[in-house]
Amino acid sequence: MVFSSLIFIYFFLPIVLVSYYLTPRKYKNIVLLLSGLFFYAWGEPVYVLMMLFTTAVDYTAGRVIDRYDSIQKIRRLALIGSIVINLGILFVFKYSGFAAGIIGLDMSPLPLPVGISFYTFQSMSYTIDMYMRKIKVQKSFVSYAAYVTLFPQIVAGPIVRYEDVQNEIDSRSINSVMLGEGVGIFIKGLVKKVILANNIGMLWTEIKALNYGELSAATAWLGILAFTFQIYYDFSGYSDMAVGLGKMLGFNFPENFRHPYISRSISEFWRRWHITLGSWFKSYVYIPLGGNRHGMAKTLRNLVVVWALTGLWHGASWNFIVWGLYFGVLIIAERLFLGKVLAKVNPIISTVYTFLLVVIGWVFFDTDTIGDAFRYLGAMFGGGNGLFDSMAWFDIKNYAVLFLMCAIGSTELIHNLTVSVYRSRRHGRLFVGLVPVMQAGLMIVCTAFLVDASYNPFLYFRF
């Protein structure tokens, strides 16, 4: 699917965009639907039928909820049917093997359809919001299916709720400003993915494959720091590409990342990281459970439920559940007392505190078992092969510049500098004139990297 997505972007995207722009407005959703189905079917020729099935289920449920607006029993049955079918399919493909193992059965996991968690949550948001009367019914199946299958973000987010695009799905316009913004955001995402994520990720792949008991502390820290930057630039890069492509098509997709590694608390980190997923769980799990409206005890219970489910959403393993609960416990601690302490300490201290705890969390996220996670953590804190070894020095020399680029890119420095130059009377016009040249140069560099690269994973496609 990774190769198919790149083929699509570099060869079929121009064709899709030209066809889309030349097509009369009333037929544009047909172009979106066909391109989305083609994109998904290129890598998942069988599972595209399952995606169409769940799309039809949710579309029908929405029509029923609208048609029988005054009959609560029918509305509720339609909603329950939609949720049961969606979560049932998600459970069968993503969690059945894990559940079977818990009860002692030997069952091989089914091949996981690419992006199933993303488009399932996206489609479910429509029927839930219809039931809550937050949105209007979409009577055109083509338009609804075009929303579900929007190719820029169908397999890796951001999670676009129908509420986000309900006006644009039927009536949208594109101007030169929006197109220019879209191109810029897309290229920024491509640079994140191809130049930063792919190259720093090679170090983590190398270190992760070693015997954790033989790692020096420095090597272990270098490895997990490499993954820390890899997952950020991989996922935020793809999200930026999706947002940019959305603008080129006339859509304003929601922001998904906001420099999360400069956060001063874990709570703030999760307001900046994978924003659309956090918003989804808040709207459809945390608030329906009661949120923080029924006392501290139930608030803490609701937080535990949300964070266990957040971990489980990412994958069917105990590592993901522990990872989710780890952040849940930290957020509860900040809610109870730690948040007040962090608000008073030096911002550098609170930022370092947050970053280190996030890095430790990534160990659970990307190791295979709980035992592996603790063995790796042991190596990080001196329980492996000493503090430094020759491998650590070699990796520091080879990756120092790349680490520096990743660190700077994860802050607001480049953004603030760009805004400052753009607003400058002396340099603003020159900068604006150079932007297309710089973008074209970056596009050429990224293409060269892709042509020459043998390592090009998309981490979040597996979710």
Residues classed as catalytic = 314
In whole angstroms, give the CA distance from residue 324 to residue 315.
Answer: 11
Tokens matching residue 212: 């954790």
* Whole-number Cα distances in Å, 152 to 8, 180, 207: 11, 17, 32
Give the contacts of 386 (CB within 8 A, at least 6 positions apart).
216, 217
The DSSP letter of residue 255 is: P
User: What's the longest Cα–Cα distance across the chain?
Assistant: 72
CB atoms within 10 A of CB 391: 18
163 close to 280: Cβ distance less than 8 angstroms: no
Alpha-carbon distance of 377 to 163, in angstroms, equals 42
The torsion defined by the Cα of 285, 286, 289 and 293, in degrees rounded to 10, comes to: -160
